[in-house]
């Protein structure tokens, strides 16, 4: 497939690397010559230096041959212009990263008219949604949903006193409702394990679990006996993400505090919020926070534009009054580092954006996909079993999955089933499969007719 990417920042370069490694013919446009030079040394793609809103530059990047255009620069206006030009050049599919709420909110002019864009990806919406899911799932540090959010995919750090510690997975059958969850991966230090029944959970592991939404309350106590419902959240930074998060939380939790060092931004946030408390100051000034709550804070969220301030405020909060911290970082390479210095949850909007865009590119039986960039090359894919495919009407023991791939669950009529070797898969079933980009093509061939 011929794919043209406009913007070679963290999102564009990750997309180019992923798509070119899968055999797609990728062209990349980047305005900054320094970034272009650096990317050209790392990737084997056609790289054109110039603006993605210029027809001549796009023609040099072979837009006339492109089947998909991905407009992912930091400028909404450039992304809009690139998609408009792509429409005029007859490109089949256009995907744009847009942040401005005027373009992306429900009922907006651009959302209704689409502006010749097939899919709009708003990183802020994705980031806020991910943080909200973490806050609403006690103990979770990674979140994703499948099957219209009826099946949850969650990551949990295992504390030393968790009831699950020291137990083999096959022993978990003694817990009630074990048919509603499945541990599909275990991260132990820097290694990602696909567990067997003999795998024993150790303290400080991170486990990845598929769990039916209805079964979550039964699962939580076995992974963290001290997990409690969230009552108090402090957010640092009246950014788009910080303010949107406060708006959603102020009607869901008892105390929401938004701290902003810029007085004008603090006043603007105050005009948009009704229940949350707005403080003008720095989150490192712990005295101002004592004015609001003398009790421990469940979550401190570092959502400011200044990443150094986010890190420092999260570290101080964790040391003094916060049970959990969530830090937002723009740099994908920082994700594993932040985890090692004590951050409980690290959110990288750029990696979420890449995953969302890839989901719209991949065709065939794939319904949705989640990539675990910060932990490994592993992917969780939701797929539908097509009629007359190699999977349909076959017992699982007769289906040969590629090495390193595992079928986690079957979803039939909205119900999650944990299949065994004699389980017969039916056409129309949904399956959640864990694999790598290299195994995805073979997995797709099992689910596709012919």
Q: Is 281 left (phi over 0), alpha (psi -120 to 50) or beta?
A: left
Report the pLDDT value the prediction gives residue 37, as an integer from 0 to 100: 92
Q: Which residues does the chain have with pLDDT short of 50?
A: 375
The C-alpha atoms of residue 15 and residue 99 are separated, in whole angstroms, by 19
Counting other chains too, the contacts that 96-100 makes at CB distance below 8 Å and 24 or more residues apart are 96/70, 96/71, 96/72, 96/120, 96/121, 97/7, 97/11, 97/71, 97/72, 97/73, 97/121, 97/122, 97/123, 97/353, 97/357, 98/122, 99/123, 99/124, 99/240, 100/76
Task: Tell me whether residue 133 is in a domain.
Answer: no
Report the pLDDT value the prediction gives residue 85, as an integer from 0 to 100: 96
Task: Tell me whether residue 113 is in a domain.
Answer: yes
Q: Alpha helix (H) ranges present in 146-239? A: 216-223
Strands (E) across 19-162 are located at 25-30, 46-49, 68-71, 93-97, 119-121, 140-146, 151-157
Q: How many helices (H) and strands (E) does the chain have?
A: 15, 24
Give the position of tokens 């502006």.
Answer: 115
Task: Say how many domains are in the chain.
Answer: 4
Same domain, 284 and 367: no
Average pLDDT across the chain, whole number: 87
Nearest to 378 by CA among 216, 149, 142: 142
Same domain, 323 and 430: no
CATH code, domain carrying 320: 3.40.50.720
Euclidean distance between the first and final Cα of the chain, in Å? 20
As a dihedral over the C-alpha atoms of residue 210, residue 215, residue 217, residue 219, rounded to 10 degrees, the angle is: -50
Task: Tell me whether residue 438 is in a domain.
Answer: yes
pLDDT tens digits for range 176-193: 555 678 888 888 887 878
Q: The tokens of 292 are what?
A: 């609001």
The conformation of residue 62, written as its DSSP 8-state character, comes to: T
Same domain, 9 and 116: yes
The conformation of residue 51, written as its DSSP 8-state character, comes to: -
β-partners of residue 152 are: 145, 211
Same domain, 155 and 180: yes
Of 66, 95, 121, which residue constitutes the final position of a domain?
121
Task: Tell me whether residue 357 is in a domain.
Answer: no
Same domain, 348 and 382: no
Same domain, 241 and 215: no
Nearest to 303 by CA among 336, 269, 333, 275: 269
Same domain, 374 and 331: no
β-partners of residue 207 are: 156, 186
Of 167, 202, 223, which residue constitutes the final position of a domain?
223
Task: Tell me whether residue 286 is in a domain.
Answer: yes
Same domain, 322 and 430: no
Nearest to 379 by CA among 388, 370, 387: 370
The C-alpha atoms of residue 348 and residue 328 are separated, in whole angstroms, by 6
- Domain of 366, in residue numbers: 362-447
pLDDT tens digits for range 413-436: 888 898 888 899 999 999 999 887
Give the position of tokens 């212009």.
Answer: 81
What distance lies between CA 3 and its chain's CA centroid?
A: 23
The C-alpha atoms of residue 23 and residue 11 are separated, in whole angstroms, by 19
Task: Tell me whether residue 127 is in a domain.
Answer: no
Task: Tell me whether residue 243 is in a domain.
Answer: yes
Same domain, 348 and 257: yes
Q: Which residues contact 152 (CB under 8 A, 6 or more apart)?
A: 137, 143, 144, 145, 146, 210, 211, 212, 213, 216
CB atoms within 10 A of CB 231: 14
Handedness of CA 269, 270, 274, 275 (dihedral sign): positive
């Amino acid at each position: 497939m011929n794919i043209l990417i406009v913007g070679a920042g963290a999102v564009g370069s990750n997309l180019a690397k992923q798509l070119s490694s899968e055999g797609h013919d990728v062209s990349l446009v980047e305005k900054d010559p320094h970034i272009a030079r650096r990317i050209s040394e790392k990737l084997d793609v056609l790289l054109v230096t110039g603006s993605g809103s210029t027809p001549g530059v796009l023609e040099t990047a072979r837009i006339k041959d492109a089947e998909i255009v991905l407009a992912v620069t930091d400028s909404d206006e450039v992304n809009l212009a690139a998609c408009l030009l792509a429409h005029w050049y007859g490109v089949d599919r256009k995907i744009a990263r847009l942040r401005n709420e005027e373009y992306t909110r429900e009922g907006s002019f651009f959302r209704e008219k689409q502006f010749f864009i097939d899919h709009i990806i708003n990183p802020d919406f994705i980031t806020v949604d991910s943080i909200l899911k973490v806050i609403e799932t006690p103990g979770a540090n990674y979140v994703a949903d499948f099957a219209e959010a009826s099946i949850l995919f969650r990551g949990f750090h295992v504390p030393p006193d968790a009831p699950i510690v020291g137990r083999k997975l096959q022993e978990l059958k003694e817990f009630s409702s074990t048919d509603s969850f499945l541990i599909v991966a275990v991260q132990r230090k820097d290694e990602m394990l696909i567990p067997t029944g003999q795998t024993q959970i150790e303290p400080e592991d991170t486990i990845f679990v598929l769990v039916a939404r209805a079964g979550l309350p039964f699962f939580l106590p076995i992974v963290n006996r001290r997990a409690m419902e969230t009552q108090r959240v402090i957010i640092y930074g009246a950014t788009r993400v910080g303010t949107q998060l406060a708006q959603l939380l102020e009607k869901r939790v008892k105390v929401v505090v938004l701290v902003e060092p810029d007085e004008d931004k603090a006043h603007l946030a105050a005009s948009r919020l009704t229940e949350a408390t707005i403080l003008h100051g720095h989150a490192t000034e712990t005295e101002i926070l004592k004015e609001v709550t003398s009790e421990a804070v469940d979550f401190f969220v570092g959502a400011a534009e200044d990443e150094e301030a986010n890190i420092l405020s999260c570290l101080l909060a964790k040391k003094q009054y916060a049970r959990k911290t969530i830090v937002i970082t723009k740099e994908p390479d920082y994700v594993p580092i932040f985890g090692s210095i004590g951050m409980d949850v690290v959110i990288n909007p750029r990696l979420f954006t890449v995953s969302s865009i890839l989901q719209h590119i991949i065709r065939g039986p794939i319904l949705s996909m989640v990539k675990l960039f910060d932990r490994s090359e592993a992917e969780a894919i939701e797929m539908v079993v097509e009629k007359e495919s190699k999977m349909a009407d076959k017992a699982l023991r007769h289906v040969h999955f590629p090495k390193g791939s595992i079928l986690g669950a079957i979803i039939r009529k909205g119900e999650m089933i944990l299949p065994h070797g004699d389980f017969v898969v039916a056409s129309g079933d949904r399956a959640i499969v864990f694999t790598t980009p290299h195994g995805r093509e073979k997995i797709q061939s099992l689910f596709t007719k012919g």
